[in-house]
Chains A and B, each alone.
Chain A
Amino acid sequence: MQDRHSQNEQTAENLPLRGIKVVEAAQGVAGPFCGRFLAALGAKVIKVERPPEGDWSRKIGPFLPGNVRSECSALYLYNNMGKESVLLDWETESGMSALETLVSSADILIEDWDRAYREEIGLTTDRFTSLNSELIEICATPFGLTGPYSRWKSTPIVQLALGGYLYLTGNSSEEPLMLPGHQPDYLTGLNAHNAVQIALWERARSGRGQFLEMSMMENLGVLHQFTFEMETYSGVVRNRNGLQWNKVGPFASYGITTLPCDDGYVAFGASTEDQWERLCAMLGREDLLDDPEFDTRLKRSQKSDTLDSLITDWMKGKTRQEVFLESSEKWFLPVAPVLNLNEVLRDPQFVQRNLFQPLSHPEAGEALYPTFPFAMSEIKPTVARAPLLGEHTSDVLGGLA
């Protein structure tokens, strides 16, 4: 595997964010995930980490093998691809002064200083934008900087709970289940990138910078499917229903269900009338199309256990991949195997899209890194490794003097 670092520096000059300088003081996932997009699109991203340990995600796993554990966190390595790392303690006077100097010539500042922390170290929201009127500062915190929860602590499960997601995953009446890893933070990072892109658009026209205060809880709120409309239009509280789609309200339907076959589970999505007809044809049960017991979506959803067992019988002796290919190619049904991570890494569709690229890191060695779900005809986002802690301190701070 080759180290793509130097190669990418040459191509960055053709990318849309060329010439944009970003200072990232955020830690964990939300802010850094935003910074990762900016770096991939050509910005120079200077990640400022507080000594001695740096970004807290360096202590969170999973870890790649390597002698220096703080350089081997896959969470850090993934979210900080293509950045430079500078050790700087903004809680000291000289550190803050160095940060101010960095930010005064920057276009974007990404941070995650919540209300409690701002009060603790005496940091007002206009500290940096007042130094640089063209600065776009994005502050991504769990609850935002105002409101009754703004001094509260949060973690992904707390975020998912208050954001209305936790309630929707898992078996009905059993403990609701969290999404894996750091999903609220990733969703926030994605939208923080969108916020910065919109602000860059604004700045290109008006010359104005902005302080953008983003709440993770609100990010979950805008990404609900029809949870709130079930309530506001039909008076139904959406519930969780395990492997089957919810059976209540106007969205009750059969066909969105996860079922076992010979080598694992398959996700089916056959909710429309057309798809119901094709599903019956696939199962060799066209007779159901004339059966008054199954002639509405609601009735079918109430018979979901019966229908599940028909599909399960049909899948006997088939692998996930066989079910997937037959359902998709021949019957044009939205069906997919539930893959495990190693299978995802080898999936032919993802491989063909170059969704994973090999990178080598001096401490953590070689691994495959997910790139981006989008492909662009004229832009090739850079894919480069994450920095070592303080790898660029002297380059960056030396240049300030």
Chain B
Amino acid sequence: MKIKLELFGASREFSNKDHLEFKIDEKIEIKDFRKELINYLEINFKGNKNFIKIVESSAFCSENNNIINDNYKITKDQKIGIIPPIGGG
């Protein structure tokens, strides 16, 4: 299953593209997907602590643009977005 993660705000530093792609074997809950993302950062950014902190404090939104909680299960190919702490205006 393929999960496309759209990047916003500070998480845009995670890639040169505007998204990341993950291949996941089984259905996955957001709390476990968060771990996958941290694992990606451990490997590609030597565990950059600021980046990990961003992931830990970020919310996620579904393809339908609803904020989803840690128990939300991704069951098929899907595009989700990461919503780091906000503060614009």
Q: Do A and B come from one complex?
A: no
